[in-house]
Structure 1
Amino acid sequence: MNGGPSGFHNAPITRAFVVASGLFTVFFGIQGRSSKLGLSYLDIFGKFRLWKLIVSVFSFSSTPELMFGLYLLYYFRVFERQIGSNKYSVFILYSVTVSLLFEILALAILKDPAVNLFTSGPYGLIFASFVPFFFDIPVSTRFRVFGVRFSDKSFIYLAGLQLLLSSWKRSIIPGIFGVVCGSLYHLNVFSIRKAKFPEVIASFFSRISWPSMGSPPAAPSRNIVGNAPPFTARQVERNYPSSMLSATEPTEDSIGTLVSMGFDRNSARQALVQARNDVNVATNILLEAHAH
């Protein structure tokens, strides 16, 4: 269970976040300051440190946390492919912001200036992602180990449990706040799931050159996201007239990526033609066609 095609194909926002998190962690690790990045009462209500508030979102405090955290962030790129980069950017901003507000509220209540109560790292985003993982990603295989039942999703849950317990209460509390954020997003509080950033943001991150982490193979026709319904070419044409379609023929890799997200092959090809083979734009076209 790998979350779809390998690498960051059609997941530019996830790629940028993973690279930023890795660079921040390495930078502060070299300086020997990783263990001091967790938020404390004095950081917020004493001598306010804005830089520490920002860094705490990206930088992990230890190498094991970095390994499990980046693995989970990389796997959860499937959600960016599912809902599109524009909406996934809102999900990231919402999860990070709301979980930080919960942490600040907890610091105000506990008022313990002696220690860093919360570990640093994108715990809000990672554990918020477990909510759509639980509801939207289906189990594809089941097996037994010494009589105990497991599924292909068990490995993701075990990695999350390891990360959650990595610093005990310093990591458990931010993890719980992340689950709360993901639940609020799933419940569509204040219609947050309809919000999305302009297309230019996803396009900007798509054009940045990053080190590659694998090439996107032709994806199977199996639905890996579990809740994306099939579409027909007529649905796409009804929302986007044929006069708008480009003559550019989509690549098999692009069609395979959309098919792996649960879309019908013909409607995927039609959307890619209209989007000039831009998978991000084509994904938004198909999602809007479904909304109508």
Structure 2
Amino acid sequence: MLAGSGPSGFYNAPVTKALVFSLGLNTLLASFLDVRHKWHLQLWPQLLQHHQIYRLVTTNLFFSTTSELLFGTCLLYHFRILERQWSSSKYASFVFLTSAMSTALNVASLFLTRGLGFKSLRGVPAGPYGLVFAALYAYGRSVPGTYKFKFAGKEWTDHVLVYALSFQFLLAQLPTSVVGSVCGLVAGVLYDLNFLEMKTFRLPRFLQNLAHKAFTPLFASSPPTGRLAGTTIEDQRRELRDRYTASMRGNAAAAAAAAGTGGIPVVPVDPPSPDAIAQLENMGFSRPRVLQALRSTNNHVPAAAAFLLDNRQ
């Protein structure tokens, strides 16, 4: 259902790849050792009596059930578009901040519900609920819908499919899963509001360098092929937009380097190829706009498609 979110795979999304694979491995290992139901976040007796502070960290490292693993990793995989838009450095900082904030909010919520006498809300299930729903909020705020459709007399975007899957994930362990999900949404709102300048925070440079050297060989992915995988115009539009977003950071850096050395942008001599023109015209754009977009992007089809999508009339 979510496969049309862009080019498949983890190209330019190593943080997402590390999250998905580590969550899957940790959940399978915890299931094999029969301990995955013992690491949820609960005040009494785990935190207050036994002082098991490590639960504040371990509760985010795996899911309690296989269904949660399936829905959670599917959503995180879909949200890799955030990493491609922001950069891996910013997304890793987002993961750290929202996970820490949502965990702190979980503890505060448990104290509140304990004081109010809600016996059914004594703990929060294991799993990065906070991260998933913080990323869901960021996704809804920063990623535009690719296509619209009508249902029950109302107009919807393709985002509704992501929200439906998120709602299914929310129902995994009612009512306790609601606490973690709401805390994640609050963390996402605070990040979006740039509370305490959170958007400017980055993990220390030495940690980034260490992670790059240690994990790049494990989590680096090959770039997508030139052929589009989408079977519909809407899927191909989203795929072109995502492929362009994933690649343009390097192009922008190269352009900046050329400008810094006095370089002059190269104007393409050859006219746009008929295949490139036809591909963009098949997406529903007029020929004059297609030619203008191709000329302004040096005949780079994904960049031209993204330009046209971002400037739809």
**Same fold flag (TM > 0.5):** yes
Of 119, 127, 150, the residue aligned with 2:133 is 127
* 1:16/1:205 contact within 8 Å kept: no
Give 1:96-245 correspondences, 5 Å limit. Answer: 96-111=99-114, 117-145=123-151, 149-197=155-203, 198=205, 199-200=208-209, 203-204=212-213, 207-210=216-219, 216-218=224-226, 222-224=240-242, 236-237=255-256, 241-242=260-261
What do residues 216-245 of structure 1 show as CA deviations (whole Å, max 9, x unaligned)?
A: 2347785349999x999799437962279x
- Once the two structures are TM-superposed, the CA of residue 265 in structure 1 deviates from its matched residue by 4.9
2:209 match: secondary structure? helix
1:165 match: secondary structure? helix
Say if 1:34 and 1:73 are closer, same or farther in 2 by CA, change over 3 A.
same
1:88 maps to: 91
The AA in structure 2 aligned to 1:223 is R
Which consecutive residues of structure 1, in runs of 5 or more, have no partner in the other structure? 245-263, 269-292
d(CA) in 2 for partners of 1:243 and 1:160?
Answer: 49
Provide the alpha-carbon RMSD of the alignment. Answer: 3.6
Say if 1:233 and 1:161 are closer, same or farther in 2 by CA, change over 3 A.
closer
- Once the two structures are TM-superposed, the CA of residue 136 in structure 1 deviates from its matched residue by 1.2
Say if 1:226 and 1:122 are closer, same or farther in 2 by CA, change over 3 A.
farther
What do residues 74-132 of structure 1 show as CA deviations (whole Å, max 9, x unaligned)?
A: 11111111111111111001011011111111222333799752111011110001112
* 1:36/1:116 contact within 8 Å kept: no
d(CA) in 2 for partners of 1:92 and 1:164?
Answer: 19
d(CA) in 2 for partners of 1:10 and 1:224?
Answer: 10
Deviates most, 20-29 or 2-11: 2-11
d(CA) in 2 for partners of 1:47 and 1:145?
Answer: 52
d(CA) in 2 for partners of 1:233 and 1:130?
Answer: 28
1:143 match: secondary structure? strand
d(CA) in 1 for partners of 2:220 and 2:41?
Answer: 31
State how many pairs are aligned.
Answer: 247
Say if 1:159 and 1:224 are closer, same or farther in 2 by CA, change over 3 A.
same
d(CA) in 2 for partners of 1:240 and 1:120?
Answer: 50
d(CA) in 1 for partners of 2:17 and 2:180?
Answer: 23
1:36 match: secondary structure? coil
Of 47, 52, 57, the residue aligned with 2:55 is 52
What do residues 53-86 of structure 1 show as CA deviations (whole Å, max 9, x unaligned)?
A: 3221021111111100000011111111111111
d(CA) in 2 for partners of 1:143 and 1:165?
Answer: 26
The AA in structure 2 aligned to 1:106 is S
Say if 1:21 and 1:227 are closer, same or farther in 2 by CA, change over 3 A.
closer
Instruction: Percent identity, please.
Output: 27
d(CA) in 2 for partners of 1:67 and 1:101?
Answer: 25
